[in-house]
Structure 1
Amino acid sequence: MAICVFDILPDGTITVPSDTGLTGKGTYRWWHFDLSEAGLSDWINANLPPIPGGSLLQPETRPRCDRFEEGLILNLRGINLNEGQDADHMVSVRMWVEDNLVITVRLRKLFALEDIRQDMIAGKGPATTAAFVELLVGKLTARVQEEVARISELTEFYEDDLEDDSTPIPTELSVTRRQVIRLRRYLDPQRVALTKLAAVDLPIIPEPDGLKLRELANRTTLAVEELDSMRERLVTVQDEHDLHVACSQARHSFILSLAAAVFLPLSFLTGLFGVNIAGMPGMENPAAFTILCLGMAVLALLLLLLFRLRRWL
């Protein structure tokens, strides 16, 4: 039923247990499940108290860290590296941690846990439950920082584009803004959870591991602060592009208005002299058309000169 089960022995040896007990004779036993597994609910209800058991079975989670008796309820999220899925749709892992037991439940593949599983298959792995939690948090945090750094580079690229007024709005700008919003939605509560984890007063988290977890919590805080900064910077980039578009449209409208102002009196004159009724001046004069054209040209030049003097051009 489980994706994997490993016993980590005091001498560092990692074995696959032959029994079905919740814990083994090693330092700790790691159970890893998929939430969709048939029979998982019955197994958890039979082996765990209702509160930590219920937290492992929740279909929707948010990052959290809560103490329950001598164990830890821990929900975390990691960057989604599954093929064909968006990185910012973060993947959750539900955990129950005791001194000699680690249970993890996933809904989608989490590559940080997969890395640990592959290491244990190769005979390498964290020696204690605290080291397991620290290793997992470290892998999750490192990938979060990589994703935040990637988005930061995109943000700098968008800002550099602003130096050229002719640059159109990047089509990916709105996508990047949504990525920042979604990442921050999960990372801010994760920052709180990791801060609580680093400060938890339990024998399963000794002081050396607590110091390392505090450093990881600080790195997550920096990532959240960077996302806050990028969110504001991206809004500024969007506003600058919108301002450029508005200025361009206003400039074009102004030019069209000036052209209309020049041709409006000329259209009036051509309309007036175009009426075919008796009494119109110049009807018998062969030079009348030339005089009219020259008069309209002079009027147009006078209007342009007026616009220039008033600094409309």
Structure 2
Amino acid sequence: MKIRLVNEGIFTPIDDIHTTLTAPEEGFYWIDADLDDLVILQPLFQMHDLAVEDCLNDEEQRPKMEIYEGHYFIVINSIRFDDEEIFLRALNIFLGKHYIITITKQKINELRTVKPLLWEQEVSSADRMLYLVIDTVVDSYFKVADRIEAKIENLEEEVLVNAKKSHLNEIISLRSEILWVKKELAPQKELLLVLYRKDLRLIDDNLQKYFRDIYEDAVKVAETFDTFRDLMANLRESYQSSIANRANEIMRVFTAMTTIFMPLTFITGIYGMNFDNIPFIHYKYGAVFLIGFMFMLGTIMLVWFKKKDWL
């Protein structure tokens, strides 16, 4: 657990957790904690049992906001994409008048990214930090969306050039990940709408208006993932078309080969019969003449197929 006094974006480490129970003369306290620290934090800050239970729950938490006496409990999902799977990680936030507590199960990059923003904007209030954290989380969705879009474009090029079975597995896997994120975005938009519209005494009225921009960004993210869903459906159709076209190409080659060998098989069939009165059967160079004729016939048919664009 790391405890910092933040004043005008400057961090001052705090050793005694009890110091944070009273408001500082200037600035606010940021407590960055793990799940194990809830044993200490819950009685000190009078955290509601249901909020603590949500933090400790192994199941994925729905983004939401709960209003308790003296503090708010907010859950928002950060996003990460490793080119194979999309990860959503819950960021639990307890917001008080003079403190903000962030609790996570795993490390979340947005908390590291927000530190220089606090210094650049000389932040001295907990609600301002809440805004920056949520804004950073929502912005990370755009970065992931750009990577997903690039992956879809690469997949489309590979499928059109040379479709493979592995591509279908990638398409199905990525589509399921996109649908999953899309489902999670709906409650996240609801959370941001509450932060924007609801009368919240722990968030400054002037600051609360800025949450509208974050909400609009969240709507854009949701629309982007809607587009991805449609693109994945089109990509799957392209894969099926590519496979069908390849099968048609193979069948066309096989058909041409079969057609070419049909007269050759007919000739060899005739000369394979046990009769004496077959033309050239006793001719000295009959075999050479016949093989040459068959080769010439096959070549003529092949050239003809090429000219007709059948191959």
Inter-CA distance 63–135: structure 2 relative to 1 (3 Å threshold): farther
Number of residue equivalences: 302
1:139 aligns with 2:139: no
TM-superposed deviation, 1:216: 0.6
Inter-CA distance 200–56: structure 2 relative to 1 (3 Å threshold): farther
Distance 2:290 2:17 in 1: 109
Q: 1:258: which partner in 2?
A: 256
Inter-CA distance 72–248: structure 2 relative to 1 (3 Å threshold): same
Superposed counterparts of 1:1-313, under 5 Å: 3-7=1-5, 15=12, 16=14, 18=16, 20=18, 23-26=21-24, 28-35=28-35, 37=36, 40-41=38-39, 43-44=41-42, 47-70=46-69, 71-80=71-80, 88-116=86-114, 126-158=123-155, 161=157, 166=161, 174=171, 177=175, 180-181=178-179, 183-275=181-273, 277-282=274-279, 283-285=281-283
More helix by share: 2
Q: Secondary structure of the residue that 1:59 maps to in structure 2? A: coil
Inter-CA distance 233–208: structure 2 relative to 1 (3 Å threshold): same
Moved more, 301-310 or 110-119: 301-310
Q: Secondary structure of the residue that 1:201 maps to in structure 2? A: coil
Distance 1:124 1:75 in 2: 24
Distance 1:307 1:156 in 2: 36
TM-superposed deviation, 1:135: 1.1
Whichever residue aligns with residue 262 of structure 1, its letter is I
TM-superposed deviation, 1:34: 0.8
Whichever residue aligns with residue 48 of structure 2, its letter is P
TM-superposed deviation, 1:247: 0.7
Q: TM-score, with normalisation over the residues of structure 1?
A: 0.75
Q: Secondary structure of the residue that 1:68 maps to in structure 2? A: strand
Inter-CA distance 303–142: structure 2 relative to 1 (3 Å threshold): closer
Distance 1:201 1:58 in 2: 29
1:170-209 Cα distance to aligned partner (Å, 9 max, x none): 9696475566445435434322322232222221123322
Whichever residue aligns with residue 131 of structure 1, its letter is R
Distance 2:51 2:249 in 1: 64
Contact residue 163 and residue 242 of structure 2 kept, 8 A:
no
TM-superposed deviation, 1:256: 1.1
Whichever residue aligns with residue 198 of structure 1, its letter is Y
Whichever residue aligns with residue 79 of structure 2, its letter is I
Whichever residue aligns with residue 31 of structure 2, its letter is W
Distance 1:108 1:300 in 2: 69
Contact residue 114 and residue 136 of structure 2 kept, 8 A:
no
Distance 1:103 1:239 in 2: 48
Contact residue 64 and residue 75 of structure 2 kept, 8 A:
yes
Distance 1:79 1:99 in 2: 28
Q: Secondary structure of the residue that 2:207 maps to in structure 1? A: helix
Whichever residue aligns with residue 23 of structure 1, its letter is L
Inter-CA distance 22–48: structure 2 relative to 1 (3 Å threshold): farther
TM-superposed deviation, 1:260: 0.6
Contact residue 65 and residue 75 of structure 2 kept, 8 A:
no
Inter-CA distance 196–233: structure 2 relative to 1 (3 Å threshold): same
Whichever residue aligns with residue 52 of structure 1, its letter is A
Inter-CA distance 94–85: structure 2 relative to 1 (3 Å threshold): farther
Whichever residue aligns with residue 74 of structure 1, its letter is I
Structure 2 residues without counterparts, runs of 5 or longer: none
Distance 2:288 2:64 in 1: 91
